[in-house]
Amino acid sequence: MSRKSHYKKTSKKGLSTIVTTVILVALSMAAVVIVWLFVNNLIKGEIKNSESCYGNYDKITINKQYTCYEKIGSNYKLRFGLSIGDVSVDNVIVSVSSGGNVNSYTITNTPQQITNLVMYSGSNPTNVILPGKNAGVTYNATGFSNMIDLVKIAPVIGGSLCEVSDSVSDIGNCALLV
């Protein structure tokens, strides 16, 4: 084999190895970028969701002064007050536990009729609506065949369901609060 042909074969093999290495490095970098973009978007989404609820824990509360039960025949009625501080709330999910059963109500900023839930007072008590900022409203919930054990509320802020912000388990008789 001549010297000239030996150099051509060697340089072609060397060039092929370099091209292969460059392609593998480029593919690896592209894979890292794709994974980073996916993870980064996922983390940003979770941070946005948690920021909506952060710092608002004590701004949506049950007014314990206006929370009590009434016994009407063999059924129970719950009166509860809901207070909202200086925060914009999309809606509040109210869960009422009675004898192992849980009734949930979603109260929104739009007046609506909710089965077994009415405003305590007002011109149209059947249209239920959330209180505004720095305000409170009292509601009546009916249809309980057992004593009410627990009332919990969880706000939805910025489209994110937050954790339970308040609960009451020691619910007194309304007749004793007069």
Residue with the bigger pLDDT between 133 and 57: it is: 133
The burial class, CB within 10 Å (0-12 / 13-18 / 19+), for 62 is buried
- Residue 128 belongs to domain with CATH number: 2.60.40.10
β-pair type (101-108, 75-84): unpaired
Question: What does the pLDDT look like over 33-90, one tens digit per residue?
Answer: 999 988 888 777 666 656 567 777 788 999 998 899 999 888 999 999 999 999 889 9
pLDDT number for residue 111: 92
Non-local (6+) Cβ contacts of 120 within 8 A are: 66, 79, 137, 138, 139, 140
Assess whether 61 and 38 both reside in one domain: no
Work out the pLDDT band at 160, boundaries 50, 70, 90.
confident
Assess whether 72 and 152 both reside in one domain: yes
Assess whether 64 and 29 both reside in one domain: no
Query: Which of 10-14, 37-41, 168-172 is least confident?
Result: 10-14
Is the CB of residue 147 less than 8 Å from the CB of residue 99?
Answer: yes
Choosing from 10, 36, 54, the residue where a domain stops is 54
pTM over 0.75: no
Range(s) of the domain holding residue 140: 57-177
Cα separations in angstroms, 99 against 34, 102, 146, 164:
52, 8, 5, 20
